[in-house]
Amino acid sequence: RIAVVGSGYLVRGMAQVFVLAGYPCVIADSGPQIAQASHARLVEEAVEFEADGLFEVGSADLIAERLECADSIEEAAASADYIAEVVPERQEIKAEVLGRISSAATSGAIIASNTSAMPIELLSGFVTRPERFLGVHWMNPAPFVPCVELIPSRQTSEATMAFSERLISGLGKVTVDLI
């Protein structure tokens, strides 16, 4: 089960990719109304992608049926095996959200930060069990850009890297390990 935390354009694209690959996926943000608005926009975008021939016919309906919205970040994190944090690139926001995810997630859940500007070493200090944390940097538009960067911290375990590599590669993405 996948959780994607945030509500921007990249979050929507990532959620589309996970759902269309067959993964149960939930989105969350600072409140349920924001997540529900993101869900509605995500489905609208999928309809547009279908009309443009970028998604197969029926993709929007599949996304509308299978993508869930959580009432809170904690609810989404508690039920996920893999949690992608995709919030603005501001340290205080990432610290708060990663702390909330970390405290609610099961001990075996992997926590990934989609960051392009903040050091993974710094962000790893905001989670408990940093061996399960890494950077997983997607680029816009997520459904169509094939490359995703995997960025470990010094504490990231080999098992976390291997799982993340399999998950992201299984989506049809090409991973680049930034070690």
Distance between CA atoms of 83 and 126, rounded to whole angstroms?
Answer: 14
Cis, peptide link before residue 152, omega less than 30° from 0: no
* 8 A C-beta contact, residue 108 and residue 81: yes
Q: Which long-range contacts (CB under 8 A, 24 or more apart) does 52-58 make?
A: 54/143, 54/144, 55/16, 55/20, 55/143
Two tokens, residue 24? 């149960």
Instruction: Determine which one of 39, 94, 137, 173 is catalytic.
Output: 137
SS3 category, 105? coil
Which residue in 108, 93, 4, 16 sits closest to 54, CA to CA? 16
State yes or no: is 137 an active-site residue.
Answer: yes
Which residues are identified as catalytic? 137
